Amino acid sequence: MRRSKKKKFKYGPWIIIFLIFAIGLAFFMRKDLIKFNSTEKSEMTKPEKEKSPVFPGYNDTAVESENGMLEVTNPSSDLVLVNKNRKLPDGYEPTDLTYPIVPLHGASKDKTLMRKEAAHALENLFQTAEANGIILTPVSAYRSYDRQLSLYNYYLQTQGEEWTQAYSAVPGTSEHQTGLSIDVSSPNFGNKLEAEFGDTKEGVWLSDHAHEFGFVIRYPEDKVEVTGYHYEPWHIRYVGKEYSTYLFEKDLVLEEVIAPNK
């Protein structure tokens, strides 16, 4: 009887090589996957690059007028820059003035006209303030050129030129004429417009929260040399929520973001 010969398994070495290769490949794939997941997680946790809102160009929004001053070409913009160097066009008057529906607390309704968007923002501001126990008064908003002229001359006669230059705008250069600004006080402060208003709870609240409604304190205490006006914690200016938040968080005024080309 013949002894059966065991068949030689010819493919054994190749299977071993294949298994070694598969294990090595799996190891490297796992290593790359861990690296990818780590990178992906790192990218996800990276803070997004902060985007600054775009402000109008200083030189692009004004032309030289006959008296040598710059005259703004975007008077109806929420971001119009009007100051001691930049005037509104002669006879300018906003076309969408309206009365904000806010408690007057003794103030004159006739002095509360504002442009429509700003008026609605002021309504939200006053409503939120009252819900937080803060009572505000709308003292003086839109002023025509003639009204500003009358006030300016009155201040010259009663307060003198130095005080007038520090607190009152030459007619045609007043933010009040844009319909975007309003002077705000409180019954608890006698509805007065004085620097001490900034120390009251109402003034502090306004300074801390005005930007949430699209307003900025236009003439801060630490920016006198930049704005050209003394501290006015009562004077707020509407620019829109995106821009007001940026200015508030960066501690900037309009003159610092809308500046002449160097």
Residue 238 · residue 36 · CB < 8 Å: no
In the structure encoding, which two tokens stand for residue 77, read together?
A: 């913009």
- Please, are residues 84 and 174 in contact by the beta-carbon 8 Å criterion? no
232 catalytic per annotation: yes
**Contact of 42 with 245, CB cutoff 8 Å:** no
Q: Which of 194, 232, 255, 256 is catalytic?
A: 232
Closest C-alpha to 83, from 261, 262, 260 = 260
Q: What share of the chain is helix, strand, coil (3-state, %, to 5)?
A: 45, 15, 40
Beta bridge partners of 238: 215
Query: Hey, which bits of the chain come out as E strands?
Result: 62-64, 70-72, 86-87, 97-98, 114-115, 137-140, 181-185, 215-219, 232-238
Residue 212 token pair:
């949430």
DSSP state of 90: T
Residues with catalytic annotation?
232
